[in-house]
Structure 1
Amino acid sequence: MDLLTLQPNTLTVDLKHPATGEPLGVTVELRSLESDEVKAVERGIKNRALKSGRNAVSAEKIDDNTTALLSAAIVSWTFSGDANLGGDKKPACTDANKRKLLAVPAIAKQIDLALGDEAAFFVSSASA
């Protein structure tokens, strides 16, 4: 196997209700935290932090940076059934809508957990 061809795939996650485990009717496609798109956001965050100097980090900024990284990892989504985002049953996968979705802590945690499973991004390529 040519190691230079080892690249992560996207991962599809069915979001679930935190209490019941029942599907919420939202499927999210995620790219790896190692993808070029997410790395570009991460580098931007680091560059801004380096330019601002010491002691310029707040808890709010850390939360905002986390949301930016999670948002960059979302490629697309599908809403079905009664699932909606503020009344919109077919919300566009825009940065603003990603932030709305990620403002729900239980959903942000599910996406964060899925992104932490690096092996899951390579499952289908291992069988190829």
Structure 2
Amino acid sequence: MDLLSITPNTTFLALKHPATGEDIGVTVELRSLESDEVKAVERMIKNKALKGGRNTVTAEKIDDNAAAILSAAIVSWSFSGDANLGGDKNPACNDANKRKLLSVPPIAKQIDQALGDETAFFASSANG
């Protein structure tokens, strides 16, 4: 096996209602935290921090940086049934809407947990 061929794929996450565990009608396609797209956002955050000097970190900035990383990991989504984002049943998968989705803590937590499951990003490449 060529070790250089081991690269992550995307994976899909069906979002669940935090109280019932039932599907809420939204499926999110996620890219690995090791993907070039997510790494680029992480480098941008680090570069800003290095340029900012000392004592520029705030709780709000940390939260914003975490949201930026989660947002970069979202490739696409599909909404079905009654699921909507602020009344929009077919929201564009853009940065503003990703931030809206991630502003719901239980959803952001589900996405964060799915991103921590590294094997999920390699499952289909191991089979193929």
Answer whether TM exceeds 0.5 for this pair.
yes
Match for residue 32 of structure 1? Answer: 32
Match for residue 77 of structure 1? Answer: 77
Note if 1:120 corresponds to 2:120: yes
* Mapped partners of 1:12, 1:55: distance in 2: 38
* Mapped partners of 2:97, 2:115: distance in 1: 19
SS in 1 for 2:122: helix
* Mapped partners of 2:76, 2:127: distance in 1: 24
Deviations 1:9-55 (A, max 9, x none): 00100000001000000000000000000000000000000000111
Q: How many residues align?
A: 128
Note if 1:52 corresponds to 2:49: no
Q: Which runs of 4+ in 1 moved over 4 A?
A: none
Per the normalisation by structure 2, the TM-score is: 0.99
* Mapped partners of 1:118, 1:54: distance in 2: 33
* Mapped partners of 1:89, 1:18: distance in 2: 20
Structure 1 unmatched runs, 5+ = none
RMSD: 0.4
Match for residue 97 of structure 1? Answer: 97
Displacement of 1:101 in angstroms is 0.2
* Mapped partners of 2:111, 2:50: distance in 1: 28
Per the normalisation by structure 1, the TM-score is: 0.99
SS in 2 for 1:9: coil
Structure 2 unmatched runs, 5+ = none
SS in 2 for 1:54: coil
